Amino acid sequence: MWETDHNELDIKVLPLRGRLLVRPWLTVIEDGFSRLVTGWALSLYPTSAEVLVAIREGIVIDLERGPWVACRS
């Protein structure tokens, strides 16, 4: 079981070609058992596209990022 969390971060950034500071959003996909973050996406404005990117990060095998070994505390 995976859980999804979508939060506005407590920092402000200046986007490219932007004039106003904005708070970015972090979308995280987390394994419910191990609490391991399997995928994430960072964006300036939250949309369903960021959720899909985070899910893809979690299911695509990438040898540069894994294999993941979950540690239980």
Are residues 16 and 24 in contact, defined by beta-carbon separation less than 8 angstroms? no
Structure confidence by residue, pLDDT tens digits, 9-52? 999 999 998 899 999 999 999 988 988 888 889 999 888 898 89
Beta strand 25-31 with 37-43 is antiparallel
The enclosing H or E element of 56 equals helix 48-59
Are residues 38 and 58 in contact, defined by beta-carbon separation less than 8 angstroms? yes
Q: Which pTM does this prediction carry?
A: 0.73
Q: Can you say how many angstroms the Cα of residue 58 is from the centroid of all Cα atoms in its chain?
A: 10
> How far apart, in whole angstroms, are the C-alpha atoms of residue 65 and residue 39?
11
User: Amino acid letter at 39?
Assistant: G
